[in-house]
Chains A and B, each alone.
Chain A
Amino acid sequence: MIEFLKRLFGLSKPAASRNQPTGSAPRRPAAAPGRATAPDPKPQGARERWAEAAAKSIDATASPEALCGITEGMSPLEIDQRLAELHRRHNRAATSLDAKLRDEAAIMLDAIAAVKEKLPPS
């Protein structure tokens, strides 16, 4: 039994009804690698909801704990797991093709390390 159905997108429908993300940065040809960018912000389907969330930037002035989503009451183990998840994501993003993502990754990696330093040794 298929629990999760994975569906690909097609190109045959008109752009207005597809609401696909816009293409790569203008200087790159359409076939060049890039990153899926945010489409018109009129949330309709899953892709549009994702795009709206993806367009948000991190608040570089926030505390390391806030950037890492660390809340009061989290145990050291939970914090460590959270940091590990974030580190996996942002370490990869540090070499992303997207410059904005690389800049955010630098901020997040520093924040992750700052929170990690405060954890007691496991």
Chain B
Amino acid sequence: MQSSPQFVGIDLGTTTTGLAWIRPDGNPEIVPNADGERLTPSVVYFDPHEDVKLVGVAARDSGDPDRTVQLIKRHMDDPEFTVSMDGRIWTPAEISAIILAKMRRDCSQIIGPIEDAVLTVPANFNELARKATLAAGRIAGLNVRRIVNEPTAAALYYAHAQKLRGRIMVYDLGGGTLDITILEVDDHGIRCLASEGAGRLGGSDFDERILELIADAYQSAHGVGLWENELERRRVLQSGEDLKKMLSKLRQASETVGSQRGGVARIELTREVFEAAVSRLFTRTILLVEQALASVRFSPQDIDHVALVGGGTRMPGVRRMLKDYFGTEPKTCGNVDECVALGAALFAMKGADVEEVCNHSYGTLALIEDAATGAETYANTIVIPKNTPIPCEQSQTYVTSEDNENLIEVEITQGEDSDPKYVDIIGRIALKVPPNRPAGCEVTVTYRYDENQRVKATVRDERSGKTTEVAISYEGAGVLSDSEVEARREAFDSLRIE
């Protein structure tokens, strides 16, 4: 009987998922699924006739969009998002668990029973999305040793494969998200300096633009729309993605599309027209690059290497844009959409050599009074600033605002903005204190941030010494409690997943 592989990493991507392990020779290697695919489309299909869930290409090509779930990763941070199928409600964590379970089962047949794994997440994944990812791994029967940011995993792979050293900016344009991370890499390890992410900017957005181009061209030529329902739309979207990939190799390409009403047509597109249509998306990626540089007060010249990650970086426009901006050719490793999984496996092996940072600021809402003028502002006050090395613990002292308060409430916020409108309240702590006290009693709020990027908050009333602590938890239709996760995990053993 095969022994369990010691170091496994899984990139649970928006559009594709990859699993890698560390071979006995110490190098990472992608493990294909049972269908022979190195990358598994992150798509789940619920068959109406048999009690089976298909994952991967078979699911993507099932032909029934009403029974197919894709891009679930974009909903991992939504506490109310669920999928209803045959009278049963599925949360994003459970849908992701189906994908992970397929990877675990298939790859275990090749490298031995997989028990422990490192999972990757986008750098800008918030508390809820990370918790959901942990839950997905648990439900799939994995012991998730660590959650690691995708750019960090990729940097680890580049450092291993190409011996990149110095200040590296990882530009990770995946299917659903863009992450920009700046790291310092030397022979002793990796230190993350800053991480910025765009949660709604990825390859699928470029696909939507090319879909619009195809649809407009067809409408102009045939006078009718190219699709009448979601199934037809998805087929054209797939054609658009294929056309986008061809335009990464050729300056001009074509794709055959058709509808029952208008007939078949060959749509020709040049790279120039495509790049003009997506130029604003390119600009948005540069805005995020600049945001990352500004957070560490770097100029483009301070970056030694730009490392490309994610299938989106195959677009020549991306490479040209980054070369123009940094004045140097960006680095590619060839398998740009596998390097996160490969890096995750390396992280499983040498995670202690990596220092990461908080990907969000955490704080609380308060009245800020200017002691000199008496002017008051209602604001979000930061306790742990973004990009603080982790694990970390920081405190802020506040004072109570009213006389005779016997219940102090602290709203835990996530976000960098001082305007409360633009931060999320991710939790609340209420602390009972003795009555009949004047306003102005000191309250210390302490946040602890662990290596899995999870937050615990403590509130201490300095006058009475009373303390209460809470780990951030969420409620909503799309959120599973710990006991529900365990129950799902047991039920998953009997699920048929192909």
Contacts and interface: CB of A to CB of B under 8 A. Distances in A.
Contacts of B335: none
Contact of B405 (A12, A47, A91): A12
A82 to B, nearest CB: 12
B376 A32 contact: no
Contacts of A9: 365-367, 401-402, 409
A10 B409 CA distance: 6
B198 interface: yes
A2 interface: yes
B88 interface: no
A102 B126 CA distance: 15
Contacts of A49: 378
Interface string A92-106: 111111100110001
A50 B420 CA distance: 9
Interface string A78-113: 000001100111011111111001100010011011
Interface string B422-458: 1111111010000100010001000000000000000
A94 B284 CA distance: 13
A94 B198 contact: yes
Sort chain B's interface into a size bin.
Answer: 35 or more
Contacts of B79: 28, 32-33, 97
Contact of A8 (B77, B369, B399): B399
B469 interface: no
B280 A46 contact: no
A114 to B, nearest CB: 7
Contacts of A114: 280
B422 A96 contact: yes
B405, B422, B423 — which one has the most chain A CB atoms within 10 A of its CB? Answer: B422
Given A32-B474, A32-B476, A50-B420, A6 B404 contact: no
Nearest to B426: A33
A116 B291 CA distance: 13
A10 B405 contact: yes
A8 B410 contact: yes
A11 interface: yes
B475 interface: yes
A45 B366 CA distance: 13
Contacts of B378: 45-47, 49-50
Interface stretch (B165-173, B225-233, B411-419): B411-419
Nearest to B129: A95
A32 B428 CA distance: 8
Interface string B239-283: 000000000000000000000000000000000000000011101
A75 to B, nearest CB: 17
Contacts of B109: none
Contacts of A3: 370-372
B195 interface: no
Interface string A37-75: 000000001110110001000000000000000000000
A84 B292 CA distance: 11
Interface of A: 1-13, 27-29, 31-36, 45-47, 49-50, 54, 83-84, 87-89, 91-98, 101-102, 106, 109-110, 112-114, 116-117
The 6 closest A-B pairs by CB, nearest first: A10-B405, A95-B199, A46-B376, A7-B401, A50-B378, A32-B475
Interface of B: 77-80, 124, 126, 128, 196, 198-200, 279-281, 283-284, 286-288, 290-291, 294, 364-372, 376-378, 381, 396-402, 404-411, 415-417, 419-428, 430, 435, 439, 443, 474-476
20 contacts: A6-B396, A9-B402, A9-B409, A10-B401, A12-B404, A12-B406, A12-B435, A28-B79, A33-B425, A33-B475, A45-B376, A47-B378, A83-B287, A92-B422, A94-B200, A95-B199, A95-B200, A97-B424, A101-B422, A116-B287
Given A12-B406, A31-B428, 20 more contacts: A4-B371, A6-B398, A7-B401, A7-B439, A8-B399, A8-B401, A9-B366, A9-B367, A10-B409, A11-B409, A12-B402, A32-B476, A35-B425, A47-B378, A88-B416, A91-B287, A95-B126, A96-B424, A102-B200, A117-B280
